[in-house]
Amino acid sequence: MIHVCFCFHDKTGNYAKLAGTAMLSIFENTNSTVTVHILHDDTLTADNLDKFSYIAGHYSQLVKFYNVEKLCPDKIKEYVSYVPSIQNSRVSVGAFYRLLLSKVLPSDMDKVIYFDADVIVNLDIRELWLIELGDKPLGAVPESIASSEMFKPSRGYGVEKYLVKAGFVKFEDYFNSGVMALNLNYLRQNSELLASGVKFRGENPQCSAFDQDILNYLFANDYLKLPEQFDQFIRSERIKADMKFKTRQVIYHYTKNTLQLNSVDVFNQLWLGYFMRTPWFNTDAIGKLYGSFQQAKNNFKSYVAGASSAMSNRARVFFVEPKRLNAVKDTFSIRDDEEIIIAENEDSLKNLFASMEESGGKKFFYIFTEKFLGRRFPFRQLAKAGFVDGKDFIRAWELLSDANGTPFDSFPFIQAM
């Protein structure tokens, strides 16, 4: 018997849909008997629970459910007391549930494979299950391997992580916690160790991750490094393949909105192929998808109409990266006397803010940089300074073609289905 698990808090219902698709991909690619263990709370709806059960029954496999709110209320309360910020973060309290696996799962289970919901298991799960952990607490793929084309010092990925910068973990040892083989006996024998990791995370808010940084702090110096096929980031696969890619027999990890509706991309096609075989893909899902497109279209029309009104009789200022400058000049017919601020360093940002403060409402700003110097553009700073999106400035990259701007993000529509 192979044991795998998913853990989640699912306020919107989106996580269940992703986990169900990952679960189906496991069953599709193995002849082994598998039990899926789902750690959840009261956010798992009866309808979604039934859908998980339907998939398992369809493939003659097993699924078991564990309500951690009822099984471990004191432990959850303890963890949240150490890291209260988790209640207001984009990461839900469900991030702590995988730390409770050794407490919740049956005592006669000595190993389990943990998955984030955003994976497709495009290989026989038995390959991973047969790897012996020995006395190691877990097996995982280092992020430098899982995302080999992105996670490099030269690209800036990984080296900025607090655990690496502070010297707790070596760059090459930091692992991704989205796919792990866990030694439950080890974790049971060291249950207080997990609590100490949660305390560390609470005392070090510089850590950008919750559960992943906790696990790396505890185990990055003593875990089994798994081969790369057991956790491959889609974003890295696309870079590596230079857009001439083919799917492989690996576990694909769709991190950070890399999953899109565009089925020309073979990785999107792969996920959609599995999703369409789940009970979540039905007429209701198609209706929600259509409604989301309609709403997005109406919102964009209103946004552009409002901005068009606001920019009348005002001088135009363009904040644009060098690589987009020619495309912006051609698309917007920029005159020689119009102001252009080249977005290339911190001084560029200071110049933009200075120009906005000095404009006195006589200028309208076109911002073409969704990301600036490796991070999101600081729109919050503009808001704090009193500038209003659509009234004083516009997120102008959305007005460019996909080739010159930012590709259309359809992940929210997948979430809406």
pLDDT in tens, 359-414: 888 999 999 888 887 778 888 888 998 999 989 998 888 888 776 666 778 888 88
Of 417, 179, 180, give the one whose Cα is nearest residue 275. 417
Q: Read off the DSSP letter of residue 153.
A: G
Tell me how far apart the alpha carbons of residues 146 and 362 are, in angstroms, rounded to a whole number.
Answer: 49
Q: What is the DSSP track for 237-260?
A: HHHHHTT-----SSEEE--TT---
CATH code at 264?
3.90.550.10
Going by DSSP bridges, is the β-strand pair 363-367/393-395 parallel, antiparallel, or unpaired?
parallel
Q: What are phi and psi of 141, to 5 degrees?
A: -100, 125
Q: Does some domain include residue 410?
A: no
Question: How many domains does the chain divide into?
Answer: 2
Residue for token digits 């690619």? 29
Q: Does some domain include residue 174?
A: yes
Residue 391 in tokens = 């009234």
Residues 76 and 131 occupy one common structural domain: yes
Tell me how far apart the alpha carbons of residues 94 and 229 are, in angstroms, rounded to a whole number.
Answer: 26
- State which amino acid sits at residue 397: W
Residues 43 and 109 occupy one common structural domain: yes
DSSP-assigned beta bridge partners for residue 34: 2
What is the extent of the structural domain holding 322? 307-399
**Number of C-beta neighbours around residue 306 at 10 A:** 15
Q: Does some domain include residue 412?
A: no
Collect all residues with Cβ–Cβ distance below 8 Å to 327 and sequence separation of at least 6: 400, 404
Q: Does some domain include residue 150?
A: yes
Least confident residue range of 60-74, 173-187, 252-266: 252-266
Residues 89 and 154 occupy one common structural domain: yes
What strands, in cross-sheet order, belong to the sheet with 339-342?
339-342, 315-320, 363-367, 393-395
Tell me how far apart the alpha carbons of residues 245 and 247 are, in angstroms, rounded to a whole number.
Answer: 7
Residue for token digits 């576990």? 251
Residues 247 and 345 occupy one common structural domain: no
Radius of gyration for the alpha carbons in the chain, expressed in angstroms and rounded: 24
Residues 277 and 328 occupy one common structural domain: no
Backbone CA torsion sign across 55, 258, 248, 245: positive
Q: What is the pLDDT of residue 127?
A: 97
- State which amino acid sits at residue 360: G
Residues 126 and 80 occupy one common structural domain: yes
Residues 329 and 378 occupy one common structural domain: yes
Residues 271 and 338 occupy one common structural domain: no
Is 77 within 8 Å of 201 (Cβ atoms)?
no
Q: Does some domain include residue 360?
A: yes
Residues 189 and 53 occupy one common structural domain: yes
Residues 251 and 389 occupy one common structural domain: no
Residues 316 and 256 occupy one common structural domain: no
For the chain, the average pLDDT equals 88
Confidence of residue 147 (pLDDT cuts 50, 70, 90): confident
Q: Which helix (H) or strand (E) segment is 399 a member of? A: none
Q: Does some domain include residue 388?
A: yes
Q: What is the pLDDT of residue 156?
A: 45
DSSP-assigned beta bridge partners for residue 291: none
- The mean per-residue pLDDT over the stretch 216-227 comes to 95
- % the chain with pLDDT above 90: 51
Q: Does some domain include residue 354?
A: yes
| Three-state secondary structure call for residue 135 | coil
Residues 103 and 225 occupy one common structural domain: yes
- Helix residue ranges per DSSP H, 220-359: 234-241, 266-275, 283-310, 325-332, 346-359
Asked whether the predicted pLDDT for residue 54 surpasses 90, the reply is: yes
Of 66, 59, 119, 115, give the one whose Cα is nearest residue 278. 59
Residue 206 in tokens = 């510089």
Is 218 within 8 Å of 170 (Cβ atoms)?
no
Q: What is the pLDDT of residue 191?
A: 81
Query: Model pTM?
Result: 0.83
Q: Does some domain include residue 292?
A: no
| Three-state secondary structure call for residue 45 | coil
CA-CA-CA-CA dihedral for 184, 186, 189, 195, to nearest 10 = -80
